[in-house]
Amino acid sequence: MLQVYTSENNKPAVMRRGILLYKRNYQNTVLRRCAATVLSLFFMIMMVNAQDLHFSQFFNSPLTTNPANTGFLPENDYRLGANYRQQWTNIPAQFKTISVFGDAQAFRDRFESGWVGLGGAILRDVAGSGNLTSTKVYGSAAYHQMLGSTGLLSAGFNIGWANKRVDVTKFTYDNQWNGKFFDAGAPSGENFAATSINYLDMQVGLNYAYFPSDNVYMHAGVSVHHVNSPKESFFSTSFDPNTGEVYDNTIARRYIAFADAMIKINDRVIVSPGAYFTTQAKARELTLGLHANYNLSGDGETQLIAGLYYRYGDAAVPMLGFQWKSVRLMFSYDATTSSLKNYNNMYGASEFALLYNGFYNQYNQNLRSTQCPVPRF
């Protein structure tokens, strides 16, 4: 018998349930894709508009924290380091940050109880589905002056080139929505003046260190980033003709303050508390915590490092590391504690830091032990 269905209500119950199930699955798929896209854009906007690049292990990224840290090496003559951070790995558009740096003391024979620090850093950050890529190359210099036998004052700056580019072909736009899906071949309606921009950038900083005894060392500093007020924009105009709004493309100045210490508890344990605060535009970040070095070998050549930090309102950051002679490797993980944990399942960021500290010769190693008596095993 031939059946002709004139409406959905006339269809058999099994077929109606099948159609409803198909629609529901299709809607859920669309919603999941839309949610993932919105979440990716939300995270990218946070990264682009809120803050510059940063690392949870701020004490293992000294030159990006404060240019006055250049050549600030109480325990050695030169330093090489690298940092890697991967954030929000469970969303479609990930965020990766890499930095390499090096600094050294210079002209120690030219100044009485002082020296010059010289260094440089290269940073690269890739964010979001459009591969928003930031590349920065800085050269830095600082001067360090001993104040008596227990204090050290440092002032420094860095200056460098910054590039930011984006792959606009990987974005989708509202004009490309045809009612069913995004048509990548349709005009976007956006007027990009450029997909790659360059600018000059400059930072300044000031530090103070205090060495009251061989068992206690304290260090604090402040810095200002983007003091030359550079501008960045991929558009030819800062005026929106649709809303009449004028955008300020000047990069907001970023202010950073930090404090840390080393306290020798006994011949086996050195504790290092630390605090880090930064503000830029309307974004703020406060991190508090400590890590400890445990002397495994008895002579200080082999050390186990463990710690816990907390970024207020955002994440708990446990960390673990190992030091062998002059080489230190540390790993940390940002476990999201804010409301974002409902979307990323607490998958925050993983971070690695590798540092090497060295001396020019044995004489300098012995001299440093008497001039800057930081806690040692």
Between CA 60 and CA 293 the distance in angstroms is 14
Instruction: Check pLDDT > 50 for residue 7.
Output: no
DSSP symbol at 26: H
Strand partners, 102: 80, 120
Domains of the chain, start order = 11-371 (2.40.160.40)
pLDDT of residue 343: 65
Task: Count each helix (H run) and each strand (E run) in the chain, helices first.
Answer: 4, 14
Is the predicted pLDDT of residue 156 greater than 70, yes or no?
Answer: yes
Among 16-20, 166-170, 232-236, 325-329, the range scoring the smallest mean pLDDT is 16-20
- 103: pLDDT confidence band, cut at 50, 70 and 90? very high
HSE-CB for 227 with a 13 A CA cutoff? 12
Q: Rounded mean pLDDT of 4-10?
A: 36
| Per-residue model confidence (pLDDT) at position 372 | 72
| pLDDT for residue 91 is more than 70 | no
State mean pLDDT over 20-35.
41
Q: What is the pLDDT of residue 303?
A: 98
Of 253, 314, 320, whose CA–CA distance to 287 is shortest?
314
Lowest mean pLDDT among 33-42, 122-131, 207-216: 33-42
Residue 81 has pLDDT above 70, yes or no: yes
What does the alpha-carbon distance between residue 319 and residue 334 come to, in Å, rounded to a whole number? 9
Q: CA torsion sign, 233 to 234 to 237 to 243?
A: negative
Residues in Cβ contact with 186 at an 8 Å cutoff, skipping those fewer than 6 apart: 175, 176, 178
pLDDT higher than threshold 60 for residue 100: yes
AA letter at 315:
A
pLDDT of residue 191: 66
Check whether 18 has a pLDDT greater than 50: no
**Spatial contact of 51 and 278, defined as CB atoms under 8 Å apart:** yes
Looking at residue 180, what DSSP letter applies?
S
Residues 165-212 pLDDT 10s: 988 777 766 666 777 776 666 666 666 677 889 999 999 999 999 999
Q: For 8, phi and psi rounded to 5 degrees?
A: -65, -30
Q: Which tokens in the block code for residue 189?
A: 């309606």
Longest dimension (CA), the chain: 107
Q: Is the pLDDT of residue 94 over 80?
A: no
Query: Residue 267, Cα to own-chain centre: how many angstroms?
Result: 34
Quote the percentage of the chain above a pLDDT of 90. 55
E strand intervals along the chain? 78-87, 95-106, 114-127, 132-147, 151-165, 196-213, 216-225, 254-264, 269-280, 283-295, 302-311, 315-324, 327-336, 347-358
Between 239 and 168, residue with greater pLDDT: 168
- Region 20-46: mean pLDDT is 42
